[in-house]
């Protein structure tokens, strides 16, 4: 929860002695921020303060930076890589491993990655971050709040696109209702691993083109068109 606050801090990269002061024998933290915190960030700030209050600061100790992933305390790229690999292993690890091997353009893969993480600026996400909007309804169907889950799986336009995609490939497919599972199960049993990486590239292309089409509807007063999204995705995949 703290990396988001870290990006707001003016104390990034500073040593302990630079982000506080001694008041007689008591150490007091003095953190500085780029802006006032949103209401939903205040509990995070309080939790950070509680975590820092547990730290033991001594006047007699030298203030140095130590990389805990190496016995020597010195940072190395290999130890950072090993740490991130271990951190990333979990239910999502296999999905992202397949994603980065997928045959698709870089911007398509980046968009798919953000979709799987739920990090696109949908209306639901913007409101959660404190952005004031006139409406949170999905711009394609105007029925439900726009989230990644809704926009790419549940919206009637998205459902039409996926159904047309399966008819185009001449396959029977039961759609899953979770984005990560939907991507992982986008697999053709009769095809090789290499062919399935291309097939997963179709999934990523559809997601990218659907997001582009959504933006066209929002910013250029366009009209939702499932056939156009699939056609553009086919071109990107080719």
Q: At CB < 8 A and 24+ separation, what contacts does 84-90 make? A: none
C-alpha distance from residue 175 to each of 139, 187, 218, 227 (Å): 23, 12, 27, 19
Give percent of the chain above pLDDT 90: 47
- Distances from the Cα of 229 to the Cα of 81, 149, 179, angstroms: 38, 18, 18
Tally of CA atoms within 13 A in the half-sphere of 156 that contains its CB: 8
| Domain edges within the chain | 2-53, 102-237
pLDDT at 169 (0 to 100): 86
| pLDDT for the residue numbered 5 | 64
Q: How confident is the model at residue 56 (pLDDT cuts 50, 70, 90)?
A: confident
Q: Is the pLDDT at 236 greater than 80, yes or no? A: yes
- Token readout for 48 is 């950070």
CA distances (Å), origin 234, targets 18, 104, 169, 204:
55, 12, 11, 11
Question: Averaged over 137-163, what is the pLDDT?
Answer: 96
Q: Which of 172, 171, 143, 170 is nearest to 157 (CA)?
A: 143
Rounded to whole angstroms, the Cα distance separating 139 from 146 reads 8
Contact in structure between 139 and 146 (CB atoms under 8 Å): yes
* Predicted confidence (pLDDT) per residue in 34-49, tens digit: 888 888 788 888 888 8
pLDDT at 158: 97
The per-residue pLDDT for range 176-190, each reduced to its tens digit, is 889 999 999 898 888
Inform me whether the pLDDT recorded for 27 exceeds 70: yes
* Confidence band for 136, pLDDT divided at 50, 70 and 90: very high
Annotate 134-173 with DSSP letters as a single string.
S--B-TTTSSSB--HHIIIIISHHHHHHHHHHHHHHT---
* Most confident range, picked from 15-24, 41-50, 106-115: 106-115
Is the pLDDT at 85 greater than 80, yes or no? Answer: no
Rounded to whole angstroms, the Cα distance separating 159 from 130 reads 30
How deeply is 221 buried, as exposed, middle or buried, from its count of CB atoms within 10 A (0-12, 13-18, 19+)?
A: exposed
Q: Please report how many Cα atoms fall inside a 13 Å half-sphere around the Cα of residue 183, on the Cβ side.
A: 29
pLDDT confidence of residue 6? 63
Using DSSP bridges, classify how beta strands 20-23 and 26-29 pair: parallel, antiparallel or unpaired. Answer: antiparallel
Please report, rounded to a whole number, the percentage of residues in the chain having pLDDT higher than 70.
94
Confidence bin at 174 (pLDDT 50/70/90):
confident
């Amino acid at each position: 929860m703290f990396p988001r606050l870290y990006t707001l801090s003016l104390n990034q990269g500073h040593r302990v002695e630079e982000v506080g002061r001694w008041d007689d024998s008591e150490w007091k933290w003095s953190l500085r921020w780029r802006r006032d915190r949103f209401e939903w960030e205040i509990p995070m700030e309080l939790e950070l303060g509680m975590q820092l209050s547990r730290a033991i600061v001594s006047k007699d100790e030298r203030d140095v930076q130590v990389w805990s992933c190496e016995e020597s305390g010195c940072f190395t790229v290999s130890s950072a890589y090993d740490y991130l690999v271990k951190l990333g292993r979990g239910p999502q690890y296999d999905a992202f491993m397949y994603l980065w091997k997928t045959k698709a353009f870089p911007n398509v893969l980046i968009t798919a990655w953000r979709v799987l993480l739920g990090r696109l600026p949908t209306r639901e996400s913007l409101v959660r971050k404190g952005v004031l909007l006139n409406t949170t309804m999905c711009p394609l169907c105007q029925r439900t709040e726009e989230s990644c889950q809704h926009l790419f799986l549940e919206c009637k336009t998205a459902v039409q696109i996926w159904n047309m995609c399966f008819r185009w490939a001449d396959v029977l497919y039961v759609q899953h209702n979770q984005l990560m599972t939907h991507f992982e199960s986008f697999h053709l049993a009769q095809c090789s691993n290499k062919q399935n990486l291309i097939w997963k590239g179709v999934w990523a292309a559809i997601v990218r083109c659907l997001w582009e089409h959504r933006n066209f509807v929002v910013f250029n007063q366009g009209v939702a068109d499932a056939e156009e999204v699939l056609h553009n995705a086919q071109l990107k995949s080719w």
